[in-house]
Structure 1
Amino acid sequence: MAKGMTTERGVGDETHQRVPDGGPHTPDGHLTTNQGVRISDNQNQLKAGPRGPVLLEDFVLREKIFHFDHERIPERIVHARGSAAHGYFEAYEAAARLSKADLFQRPGEKTPVFVRFSTVAGGAGSVDTPRDVRGFAVKFYTQEGNWDLVGNNIPVFFIQDAIKFPDLIHSVKMEADRGYPQSASAHDTFWDFISLMPEATHMIMWAMSDRTIPR
Structure 2
Amino acid sequence: MLGVQYTYFAAIRYGNAATATILQSLECVIVPCFLAVRFRRMPGRRTLFAVFLAVAGTFLLVTHGSFTTLSISGKALFWGILTALTAAFYTLQPIKLLHQWGADVTVGWGMLIGGAVLSFIHPPWHAAGNFSPAAVPGIAFVILFGTLVAFLCYLEGLKYLSASETTVLATAEPLSAAFLTVVWLHVPLGFFDWAGALMIISTIFILALKGKHA
Instruction: Tell whether the structures are fold-level matches, with TM greater than 0.5.
Output: no
**Structure with the higher fraction of residues in helix conformation:** 2
**Structure with the higher fraction of residues in strand conformation:** 1
Q: Which has the higher contact order (CA 8 A, sep 6+)?
A: 2
TM-score by length of 1: 0.20
Q: Between Structure 1 and Structure 2, whose CA radius of gyration is higher?
A: 1
TM-score by length of 2: 0.20
